[in-house]
């Protein structure tokens, strides 16, 4: 849909765990190889959290960096939204714990569970608070400790995921050259079980059986998700630009969810985009779900791949199945 939201991305921050895990390390425990992983996914390495470095710890570090870069204090924030599928605890929302950790005061703080689309959805949600006048400055975080839900015996998934957090401070702006021009979001629940964690919810509460059967780990029908991802990503890129009335050629940089290099390349090729205009960092971090887009956005801004005045398109898809996009004039 076409939008004219007067929102400015003030700053970004990230937290990437120190531990770098190479493909060869995974090949020591499951039947895989560096060659297979690089060819099929584009991933060479990923980061894994240290013992005790939980989602909240990652989110806190990324948020502090974003606040510092915004020259803002925690008290300047009016709300916090955290996108995650690996919350600190099932209850309460990780965002509330982050609020306390940062020392923000009693501002609203809640989580968004839309998997890899989570950060884009959280961003759109946060923007609505600003547009409605319920907040002026909001912290939006995507944070994941995916290693806690990854089955390290399943070669089809354990090669893909990593841990990370990315944060953004956004606020209302009077600058007519900045803002969100268009966005898309949606979900197809019929395909909801293509990526799932079977146990730990009300259907299969934790029990000895659920643990013995490894039901607390993420299961994924990779091929089906792959096909959905390529077509949906291409469509969402086209539709979002059309909604805004801009040509795809006007977009300076696409910042896609980093799921698989082949997915990104195929979708962008179909949309008529050359890879020079696409931010790719999956080779270094793997798939970090809700953290993927904010980490990539941070890198894009830090490296000068996009600058004030540019059109930047965020696009993501994931479990649900969900998708989301946001076209920003930064």
Instruction: Give Cβ neighbours of residue 165 (< 8 Å, ≥ 6 apart).
Output: 14, 15, 55, 58, 59, 61, 62, 141, 142, 143, 144, 291, 294, 295
- Select 23 or 94, whichever has its Cβ closest to ligand UT7: 23
Q: Is 282 helix (H, G, I), strand (E, B) or coil?
A: helix
Residue 84 contacts ligand UT7 per CB under 6 A? no
Stretch that binds ligand UT7, among 34-42, 54-62, 95-103, 126-134 (CB under 6 A): 34-42
Tokens representing residue 108 in the block: 């609203």
Residue 64 contacts ligand UT7 per CB under 6 A? no
Cβ-count burial of 259 within 10 angstroms (0-12 exposed, 13-18 middle, 19+ buried)? buried
Which of 104, 116, 145, 158 is flagged as catalytic?
116
Instruction: Give Cβ neighbours of residue 242 (< 8 Å, ≥ 6 apart).
Output: none
C-alpha 22/C-alpha 18 separation (Å) is 13
CB of 321 to ligand UT7, least distance (A): 8
Site for ligand UT7 in 228-287 (CB under 6 A): 229, 259-260, 263, 287
CB of 151 to ligand UT7, least distance (A): 12
CB of 85 to ligand UT7, least distance (A): 10
Stretch that binds ligand UT7, among 86-94, 138-146, 220-228, 295-303 (CB under 6 A): 220-228
Q: Name which of 233, 53, 18 is nearest 143 in CA terms.
A: 53
Tokens representing residue 147 in the block: 């290693």
Query: Does 116 participate in catalysis according to the annotation?
Result: yes
Active site residues: 116, 257, 287
Site for ligand UT7, rule CB under 6 A: 32, 36, 40-41, 116, 155-156, 159, 195, 222-223, 225-226, 229, 259-260, 263, 287, 318
């Amino acid at each position: 849909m076409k939008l004219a939201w007067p929102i400015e991305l003030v700053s970004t921050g990230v937290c990437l765990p120190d531990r770098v895990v190479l493909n060869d390390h995974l090949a020591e425990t499951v039947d895989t190889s560096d060659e297979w992983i690089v060819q099929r996914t584009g991933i060479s390495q990923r980061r894994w959290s240290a013992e005790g470095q939980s989602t909240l710890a990652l989110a806190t570090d990324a948020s502090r960096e974003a606040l510092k870069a915004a020259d803002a204090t925690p008290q300047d924030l009016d709300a916090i939204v955290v996108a995650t599928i690996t919350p600190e605890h099932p209850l309460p929302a990780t965002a509330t714990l982050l609020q306390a950790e940062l020392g923000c005061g009693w501002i609203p703080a809640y989580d968004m569970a839309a998997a890899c689309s989570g950060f884009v959805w959280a961003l759109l949600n946060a923007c609505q608070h600003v547009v409605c006048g319920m907040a002026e400055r909001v912290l939006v975080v995507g944070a994941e400790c995916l290693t806690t839900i990854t089955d390290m015996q399943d070669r089809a998934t354990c090669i893909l995921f990593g841990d990370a957090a990315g944060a953004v401070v956004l606020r209302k702006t009077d600058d007519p050259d900045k803002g969100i021009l268009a966005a898309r979001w949606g979900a197809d629940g019929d395909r909801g079980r293509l990526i799932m964690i079977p146990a730990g919810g009300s259907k299969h509460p934790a029990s000895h059986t659920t643990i013995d059967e490894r039901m607390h780990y993420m299961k994924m029908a990779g091929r089906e998700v792959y096909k959905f991802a390529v077509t949906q990503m291409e469509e969402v890129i086209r539709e979002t630009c059309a909604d805004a009335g801009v040509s795809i050629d006007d977009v300076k940089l696409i910042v896609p969810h980093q799921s698989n290099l082949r997915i990104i390349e195929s979708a962008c090729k179909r949309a008529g985009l050359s890879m020079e205009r696409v931010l790719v960092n999956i080779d270094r971090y793997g798939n970090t779900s809700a953290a993927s887009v904010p980490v990539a956005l941070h890198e894009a801004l830090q490296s000068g791949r996009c600058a004030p005045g540019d059109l930047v398109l965020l696009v993501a898809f994931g479990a649900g199945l969900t998708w989301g996009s946001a076209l920003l004039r930064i």
